[in-house]
Structure 1
Amino acid sequence: MTNPLYPAFFRLDRLDMLVVGAGEVGEEKLSFILKSSPNARVTIVAPWMGADLRELLDAYERQTKEADGAGARVAVSGEQFAGVWHTPAGGRITWYQREFRPADVKEVDLVVAATNFKEVNYAVWEAAKAERRLTNVADTPHLCDFYLGSIVTRGPLKVAISTNGQSPTFAKRFRQWLEAELPEDATTELIENLHLFRDRLTGNFQTKVRELNTLTNGLLSSARAGRTCPPGGCLLAAASEPNDIAPAPRSPEKGEGGQENLN
Structure 2
Amino acid sequence: MGEKFPEIEGGGSLILAWQVRNKKVLVVGGGEVAAGRILNLLNADAKVTLISPRDGLNPEVAHRIEQKQVEYHDRKFLPSDLDDPAIVMVLTAIDEPDDSTVIWKLCKEKRIAANIADVPPECDFYFGSVHRDGPLQIMVSTNGNGPKMANIVRRRIAATLPPNIGEAIAKVGALRRKLRAVAPGNEQGPKRMQWMSKVCVTWSLEDLCDMEERDMDELLQSYAPNQIPTFEQVRLGEQPGSWEFDGSFGWACVI
Question: Shorter-chain-normalised TM-score: which range?
Answer: 0.5 to 0.7
**Cα gap change, 1:119 to 1:14, in 2 (>3 Å):** same
The structural deviation recorded for 1:97 is 1.8
Q: Which amino acid in the other structure matches residue 56 of structure 2? A: G
Question: Is the 8 Å Cα contact of residues 41 and 48 (structure 2) preserved in structure 1?
Answer: no
Question: Is the 8 Å Cα contact of residues 215 and 239 (structure 1) preserved in structure 2?
Answer: no
- Alignment partner of 1:188 is 2:166: yes
**Cα gap change, 1:189 to 1:197, in 2 (>3 Å):** same
Q: What fraction of aligned residue pairs are identical, expressed as a percent?
A: 24
- Alignment partner of 1:103 is 2:107: no
The structural deviation recorded for 1:22 is 1.4
Q: Distance in 1 between matches of 2:142 and 2:117?
A: 16
CA offsets 1:93-149 (integer angstroms, 9 cap, x no match): 122222211111121221112111110101111111111111001111111111122
User: Paired residue for 1:135, among 114, 120, 123?
Assistant: 114
RMSD value over aligned CA atoms?
3.2
Matches within 5 A, 1:60-75: 60=64
Question: Is the 8 Å Cα contact of residues 136 and 143 (structure 1) preserved in structure 2?
Answer: yes
Corresponding residue of 1:45: 51
**Cα gap change, 1:111 to 1:49, in 2 (>3 Å):** farther
Question: Is the 8 Å Cα contact of residues 84 and 94 (structure 1) preserved in structure 2?
Answer: no
- Alignment partner of 1:6 is 2:14: yes
TM-score w.r.t. structure 1 length? 0.64
**Higher RCO structure, 1 or 2 (CA under 8 Å, sep 6+):** 1
Structure 1, 97-106 or 4-13: larger mean CA deviation: 4-13
Question: Is the 8 Å Cα contact of residues 29 and 50 (structure 2) preserved in structure 1?
Answer: yes
5+ long unaligned stretches in structure 2:
1-8, 210-218, 227-254
Q: Which amino acid in the other structure matches residue 208 of structure 1? A: R
Q: Which amino acid in the other structure matches residue 189 of structure 1? A: E
TM-score w.r.t. structure 2 length? 0.65
Q: Distance in 2 between matches of 1:28 and 1:12?
A: 16
Corresponding residue of 1:23: 31
Q: Distance in 2 between matches of 1:238 and 1:181?
A: 20
**Cα gap change, 1:142 to 1:238, in 2 (>3 Å):** farther
User: Paired residue for 2:128, among 149, 160, 165?
Assistant: 149
**Cα gap change, 1:167 to 1:246, in 2 (>3 Å):** farther
The structural deviation recorded for 1:84 is 5.7
**Cα gap change, 1:239 to 1:45, in 2 (>3 Å):** closer
Q: Distance in 2 between matches of 1:170 and 1:25?
A: 17
Question: Is the 8 Å Cα contact of residues 20 and 112 (structure 1) preserved in structure 2?
Answer: yes
Q: Distance in 1 between matches of 2:67 and 2:46?
A: 11
- What SS does the aligned partner of 2:49 have? strand
Q: Distance in 1 between matches of 2:171 and 2:32?
A: 41
Q: Which amino acid in the other structure matches residue 248 of structure 1? A: S
**Cα gap change, 1:2 to 1:49, in 2 (>3 Å):** farther
Q: How many residue pairs get matched?
A: 202
Corresponding residue of 2:205: 236
- What SS does the aligned partner of 1:204 have? helix
